[in-house]
């Protein structure tokens, strides 16, 4: 399957969901103009890490964000991996991803599993418990949120069911660890023999400068497309999932696993 992928490497205005919704809508239009099949946004695009203000700002059951993403998906006939947004669900706050197909139908919903202490996330946000695997644009896929990529055992859990052909990652990853971001994403691509499509934000909040460098990586860990570290942009890249069938044919790591020995 050939797919044109678009990544919206955007800046996020801290604590300003209305403003950020306009940015998200603008990049959907640009992705449609580029004839993209799939569009990916970064983590927590509605509020940024405005964690102390979640009581006022978190999206109730993700209603506003879902309505917007579904509308954009349908209007522009785009499959959308909707980054993540701060949500309120049953009096708790979550860092939640919504995925919509090109008909505007929700195909997945996922609450970030691993909360990032260095950014105080666990003080305000509750952790999810469920996998995030789905078919999007006829391709078996999985998705993770930012700090989740430091847990290869979790990604393997999701990637080996299928196995999945694309791993989407959405992030607010600071610039001082941007080399780790890139290296870990390349490793996740190689070990799972899958494409990795990773969207990071740019800009700053009160505590961090974020490092961009959104990436599209092939199943051999080679970088197909890479955005810069500071500028907002729409990164576009073409992938062909037949490539990873070739890689899997040569080194069948999924068949050779011995899960009975792993704990």
Ligand X SMILES: NC(=O)CCC(=O)C(=O)O
Using CA atoms, how far apart are residues 261 and 263, in angstroms rounded to an integer? Answer: 7
Decide the pairing of beta strands 106-111 and 85-89: unpaired
CB of 95 to ligand X, least distance (A): 8
Burial-class residue 74 by CB neighbours within 10 Å (0-12, 13-18, 19+).
middle
What lies within 8 Å, CB to CB, of 245 at 6+ separation is: none
> Binding to ligand X by residue 177, rule CB under 6 A?
yes
Catalytic residue (choose from 43, 109, 121, 165): 43
CB of 146 to ligand X, least distance (A): 3
Catalytic residue (choose from 88, 109, 121, 146): 146
The CA-to-CA distance between both ends of the chain, in Å, stands at 35
For ligand X, give the closer residue by CB, 26 or 151: 151
> Binding to ligand X by residue 143, rule CB under 6 A?
no
Active site residue 2: no
**Of 36, 137, 146, 189, the one binding ligand X by CB under 6 A:** 146
Contact range with ligand X by CB under 6 A, out of 11-19, 22-30, 54-62, 166-174: 166-174
For ligand X, give the closer residue by CB, 38 or 146: 146
> Binding to ligand X by residue 150, rule CB under 6 A?
yes
CB of 134 to ligand X, least distance (A): 21
Torsion of Cα atoms, 208 then 210 then 211 then 217, to 10° = 130
Binding characters for ligand X, 22-51, by CB under 6 A (x = yes): ---------------------x--------
Neighbour order of strands in the sheet with 139-145: 133-136, 139-145, 166-171, 195-200, 215-217, 223-226
> Binding to ligand X by residue 2, rule CB under 6 A?
no
**Of 45, 93, 94, 116, the one binding ligand X by CB under 6 A:** 116
For ligand X, give the closer residue by CB, 99 or 146: 146
Active site residue 250: no
> Binding to ligand X by residue 93, rule CB under 6 A?
no
Residues across the chain: 263
Active site residue 43: yes
State the number of CA atoms in the 13 A half-sphere of 121 facing the CB: 25
Catalytic residue (choose from 112, 165, 172, 244): 112
For ligand X, give the closer residue by CB, 172 or 218: 172
> Binding to ligand X by residue 147, rule CB under 6 A?
yes
**Of 174, 203, 219, 237, the one binding ligand X by CB under 6 A:** 174
Where does this chain bind ligand X (CB under 6 A)?
43, 116, 119, 146-147, 150, 172-174, 177
Catalytic residues: 43, 112, 146
């Amino acid at each position: 399957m050939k797919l044109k992928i678009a990544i919206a490497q955007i800046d996020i205005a801290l604590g300003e969901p209305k403003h950020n919704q306009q940015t998200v809508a603008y990049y959907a239009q640009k992705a449609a103009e580029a004839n993209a099949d799939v569009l990916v946004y970064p983590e927590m695009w509605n509020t940024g890490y405005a964690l102390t203000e979640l009581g006022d700002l978190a999206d109730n059951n993700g209603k506003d964000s879902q309505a917007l993403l579904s509308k954009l998906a349908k209007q522009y006939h785009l499959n959308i991996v909707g980054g993540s947004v701060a949500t309120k669900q049953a009096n708790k706050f979550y860092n939640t991803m919504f995925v919509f197909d090109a008909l505007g139908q929700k195909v997945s919903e996922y609450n970030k599993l691993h909360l990032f202490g260095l950014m105080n996330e666990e003080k305000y946000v509750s952790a999810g418990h469920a996998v995030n695997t789905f078919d999007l644009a006829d391709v078996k896929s999985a998705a993770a949120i930012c700090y989740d990529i430091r847990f290869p055992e979790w990604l393997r859990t999701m990637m080996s069911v299928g196995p999945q052909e694309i791993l989407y990652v959405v992030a607010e990853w600071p610039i001082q660890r941007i080399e780790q971001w890139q290296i870990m994403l390349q490793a996740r691509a190689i070990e799972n023999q899958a494409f990795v499509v990773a969207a990071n934000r740019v800009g700053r909040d009160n505590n961090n400068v974020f490092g961009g460098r959104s990436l599209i990586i092939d199943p051999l860990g080679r970088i197909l497309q890479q955005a810069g570290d500071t500028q907002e942009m729409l990164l576009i890249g073409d992938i062909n999932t037949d490539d990873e069938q070739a890689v899997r044919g040569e080194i069948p790591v999924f068949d050779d696993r011995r899960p009975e020995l792993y704990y």
